Amino acid sequence: MFKKELFTHKEVLSFELRALCSSQGYSLYKMNAFEPYSFYLENIDFLSSKNILYFTDRDGTLMALKPDITLSIIKNLDTAKEKHKLYYSENVYRAPKTSGNFREILQFGVEVIGRLSDEDLFNLIFLAAKSLLVFDDMPVLLVSDNSMIQKMMEKAGLSKLNDRILNAFQNKSLMLLKEVLTDNHADQKDQDILASLLSLHLPLDRGIEKLEKILDGETFRENIEYLKDLNQYLKNQDLNTQVFLDFSIPEGLKYYDRLSFVGVIPGVSSAILRGGEYSNLVKTKEKSYLASGFAIYLEKIGDQGRL
């Protein structure tokens, strides 16, 4: 019989998340083998922590203690299957900014990869929003459309991977944004639009209305329609999580090529959930594949509850 008191708080949370994913048709992925160290180095930009713990295997190959699960899932994907809906609950090995030393961290994650419909991608975002309710009854999911920022940056004559612009968005720094745009002689109208995007923080439906007012309809029509469809999908679900549109999260723009999102709860000082659509990463694997996923950082919750 399942006795809650026999498990740590993190384990109980993990079980609740597993039950939720199962109910949405996702199946458990277990990572049983180590990956070569070089594999993670090739994809270093995708990793939140750039330090990797490695060891020499018996045949002399340099192997890594897993810093991440998503990359391994993509690498070992069975391409004969049309669609993969997976979740995992695994220990990863990272050196967090706060400790400096490596730690074993229990991470929960969900991935959907394959020939996907918009509904598959929206269902994953719904699952992210719903997962947050396991931790708190007042969570907020913040959604950003990274492709929209990329399009705007290109329109303003900037490289889509301009790190200073990304920093400006990540820190909601209008000062830095203005500095970079002025340096690059960006058009005043484009500067105003980028400033509006950077400052935006509204519930999804009101955020979409605002986007329709500030953006050129034709260039961004596809983006806005996609967000509208997402909003409608979430409205049709039984969901108590608030969803906001906020462009301060274009972290990993190289990989999260369309929507990205973070989940926050009161009392925990940084996001406990991060994810997004990373189809570019799987395009080399299988041309027509799309992918999206998220990870939940259970260590931020602590064993007894909040930190």
CA distances to 66, 75, 162, 201 from 250, in Å: 25, 24, 12, 14
x/- track of binding to other proteins for residues 89-128 (CB under 8 A): ----------------------------------------
Task: Select 31 or 176, whichever has its Cβ closest to other proteins.
Answer: 176
What torsion, rounded to 10 degrees, do the Cα atoms 115, 117, 118, 120 define?
Answer: -80
DSSP 113-139: EES--HHHHHHHHHHHHHHHTTT-SS-
Task: Select 201 or 235, whichever has its Cβ closest to other proteins.
Answer: 201
101, 269, 284, 304: which one contacts other proteins (CB under 8 A)?
269
48, 173, 196, 280: which one contacts other proteins (CB under 8 A)?
173
CB 196 within 8 A of CB 214: yes
User: Is 140 near other proteins (CB under 8 A)?
Assistant: yes
Q: Which part of the chain contacts other proteins (CB under 8 A), choosing from 48-56, 80-88, 110-118, 260-268?
A: 260-268
10, 160, 164, 172: which one contacts other proteins (CB under 8 A)?
172
User: Is 133 near other proteins (CB under 8 A)?
Assistant: no
User: Is 270 near other proteins (CB under 8 A)?
Assistant: yes
DSSP 217-267: HHHHHHHHHHHHHHHHHHHHS---SEEEEE-S--TTTTT--SEEEEEE-TT
Q: Strands across the sheet with 35-36, in order?
A: 35-36, 62-64, 54-56
CA distances to 223, 254, 286, 287, 297 from 281, in Å: 20, 9, 10, 10, 22
| Rounded CA separation 245/257 (Å) | 16
User: Is 143 near other proteins (CB under 8 A)?
Assistant: no
User: Is 161 near other proteins (CB under 8 A)?
Assistant: no
How many residues of this chain interact with other proteins, rule: CB under 8 A?
Answer: 19
User: Is 248 near other proteins (CB under 8 A)?
Assistant: yes
CB 87 within 8 A of CB 277: no
User: Is 175 near other proteins (CB under 8 A)?
Assistant: yes
| Rounded CA separation 170/163 (Å) | 10
User: Is 271 near other proteins (CB under 8 A)?
Assistant: yes
Q: End-to-end alpha-carbon separation of the chain, Å?
A: 30
x/- track of binding to other proteins for residues 207-246 (CB under 8 A): -------------------------------------x--
Task: Select 32 or 269, whichever has its Cβ closest to other proteins.
Answer: 269
95, 176, 195, 239: which one contacts other proteins (CB under 8 A)?
176
Task: Select 189 or 201, whichever has its Cβ closest to other proteins.
Answer: 201
Binding interface with other proteins (CB under 8 A): 140, 142, 170-176, 201, 244, 248, 264-266, 268-271
